[in-house]
Amino acid sequence: MKRRSCGLAAVMVLWSAATAFAETKRVAVVVGNNAGSGEQPPLHYAETDAGKMARVLTELGGVDTADLFLLQGRGVATLKETLVLAKKRVASHHQDPANRVILIFYFSGHSDGEAFELGPDRLTFSELRRWLGTTGAEVRLALVDSCKSGALLAAKGGKLGPAFQIRLTDELSSTGEALLASSASDEIALESREIGGSFFTHHFVSGLRGPADSSGDGMVTLTEAYQYAYVHTLATTGNTMAGPQHPAYDYRLSGQGELVLTELAKPSAMIELPKGFERALVIELARDQVIAELTSDARSVVAVPPGRYAVRAWREGRVFAGRLMVTPGNRRVVSWDELSAVATSADRSKGDFDGSTLA
């Protein structure tokens, strides 16, 4: 595993009054950079993480492709130009005074605890916060995946643990701030070759595709996504040499409601896995990427775009695998008869040091 450098992994939500009849628009800036400054070795999957986040936001998160800004492997100059463009998109939506805007910022890569690193360039956390505060968006949400991110929360009185009780809604008049960290202040964050990404982003995105829908209402809220990512990040990093990784949170909010991040009624296709698996990976063959991970304690349905997929499922100490085609509008139900046992010697447990630690 490769270490991802100290930094922030946080969600900040700032929120102001709105009318019940407003139309909600979503603008997203999604950034991934494998390179860090100084002597940091390059990451393997930060840019891949950004791509996965961008896809789930456009497929299920209500972000129009025209309102998505995806930067992979670009420097700070390009990022700053993009932040200006995103701010203009927010302003364009506000030309209709009935509109409300949710602004989403995501970063995956190196940081030193004070700034994001994009190759030799840096963007400080304070610069990001200032930009968020000037965008004019009613809701500003930033998710950043990096190690030792709890250092930011410790200074603000943040807590370790999954008891995250933020309840927001697009229609509700509320104000506040929420911070989510992918690791404690003295912990590293990890990425894995098996899943092709960082553990925290992997589980957060997996949850957004359906497994985190604990209420079964067809929507994944911020609360559900965080709690799912917390539990599964802790579980999958517990057996690594680096030790368990504990996501943390801090929030200051007023008001009640739910902030829905993804709607599962919107996908063009779904895969339903057979009962009885302990763990399963769904791989999108066109990109050769793990698109979601499911466990026995979560829902067994995952929302996906149409295409060709591979499934690997663990049951009673054995691994079963198969390939399938998912067509538009199809709920593809997979049976155990379609999956064949594979040699266990080829398997890797999800806790193995098969990749790198994120630094």
From the number of C-beta atoms within 10 Å of its C-beta (0-12, 13-18, 19+), residue 242 rates as middle
* pLDDT for the residue 341: 94
* pLDDT for the residue 219: 92
Give the confidence band of 30 by pLDDT, cuts at 50, 70, 90. Answer: very high
- 136-145, 151-160, 256-265: the lowest-pLDDT one: 151-160
pTM of the entire predicted model: 0.85
DSSP H stretches of helix in the chain = 46-59, 76-93, 125-134, 150-155, 199-208, 222-237
For 140, list phi and psi in degrees, rounded to 5: -120, 120
Distance of CA 148 to the CA centre of its chain: 17
How far is Cα 258 from Cα 235, in angstroms, rounded to an integer?
26
* pLDDT for the residue 165: 43
DSSP H stretches of helix in 238-335 = none
* pLDDT for the residue 15: 47
* pLDDT for the residue 358: 40
Per-residue pLDDT tens for 282-293? Answer: 999 999 999 999
For residue 276, is pLDDT > 90?
Answer: yes
Per-residue pLDDT tens for 48-88? Answer: 999 999 999 999 999 999 999 999 999 999 999 999 999 99
Give the confidence band of 204 by pLDDT, cuts at 50, 70, 90. Answer: very high
CA-to-CA separations, 349 to 49, 193, 279, 282, 358, in angstroms, rounded: 21, 11, 10, 15, 19
For 105, list phi and psi in degrees, rounded to 5: -120, 130
DSSP category for residue 147: B
Per-residue pLDDT tens for 328-355? Answer: 989 999 999 999 999 764 333 323 334 4
Residue 159 bridge partners (DSSP): 249
Contact 298, 280 (CB under 8 A): no
How far is Cα 8 from Cα 158, in angstroms, rounded to an integer?
13
* pLDDT for the residue 157: 37
* pLDDT for the residue 115: 83
Q: How would you classify the pairing of strands 248-254 and 279-284?
A: unpaired
What percentage of the chain carries pLDDT values higher than 70? 72
* pLDDT for the residue 148: 54
- 148-152, 185-189, 197-201, 271-275: the lowest-pLDDT one: 148-152
- Which among 110-114, 131-135, 141-145, 162-166 has the top mean pLDDT? 131-135
Contact 245, 187 (CB under 8 A): yes
For 341, list phi and psi in degrees, rounded to 5: -65, 140
- 52-66, 129-143, 161-175, 302-316: the lowest-pLDDT one: 161-175
Per-residue pLDDT tens for 216-244? Answer: 999 998 889 988 988 888 888 777 766 67
3 state DSSP class of 78: helix
- Which among 31-40, 87-96, 103-112, 294-303 has the top mean pLDDT? 87-96
Give the pair of three-digit tokens for residue 236: 């999958």
